[in-house]
Amino acid sequence: MRIATWNVNSLKARLEKVAWWVERTNPDVLLLQETKCTDEGAPRDALEKLGYELAHHGSGGRNGVAIASRTPLAEIETNFGEPLRKSAPGEAGDDEPLGEARMIAAVAGGVRVVSLYAPNGRTVGSPFYTAKLAWYDRLARWLAATRRPDEALVLGGDFNVAPGDADVWDARACHGGTHVSPEERSAFARLGAWGLVDAYRARNPDVRRYTWWDYRAGNFQKNMGMRIDHLLVSAPIAGRAVAVEIDREARKGRPIPSDHAPLTLDLDAPGKPFDAGWAGAEERIAARTKPRGGP
């Protein structure tokens, strides 16, 4: 079973890219974030043609989460089981942590999968940052109240947190900003304390590879990125994991890609082989950044 997560940065705009990637990697379950669709406007027919049932939670704007599955979905839950709240008049939306569509869960193939899109936080100390921490607190309380660490559980998505300094291109350059603040990292670590395992870091303890690169200033080519997309899994799922990979190739080429790369998790047996493109890229990056006159 292959489970993947991908912040597509507009599902309709990336449909051609999604179709290409599905053919390339053949995931059984695909967790999607930042779909930017309403439930009525989600491209269900297009996903059905690719072989997937789609469960979608979105209200338009810069939010929206979904689960696409090759097997039937059951026990669908959105927004931690609560209706979406309303933001204060005139506010941008992400000031209210439960006011945007950022969580959907379902059972697929005997595994409870959860697609998550954490608030960005914008600026440390801002109302949006406070809302981000409140959203993380709500996620932790939902886990404690409704889930068990010994069940088959996968939380995947754009968490908008780089858990450690190895998860950013330059810890000193990022210091003082969002995604790396002690409070955000503590909120993320709380999920691990509950019983979840960072599937990628568990199998790749030393690599410095990322899932997000800003579109600007050639940051992707320079590998100035962050690992902020994660698959957090319960112990039973961690014991079934045979491979975890970030597909760097999906961040390249045309049609215009998302600024995030998809992350795959294979359970029990390897899925369809694909070259994620890291070996060649890291050689090129090392050659470009090698000091002149060095050995």
**Cα separation values, 21 from 5, 189, 196, 223, 261, Å:** 12, 31, 27, 21, 11
Tokens of 230: 């994660």
Tell me, yes or no, if 170 is annotated catalytic: no
Tell me, yes or no, if 158 is annotated catalytic: yes
Q: Catalytic one among 158, 198, 247, 266?
A: 158
Q: Catalytic one among 117, 129, 200, 210?
A: 117
Q: Which has the closest alpha carbon to 155: 117, 129, 99, 184?
A: 117
Active site amino acids: 117, 158
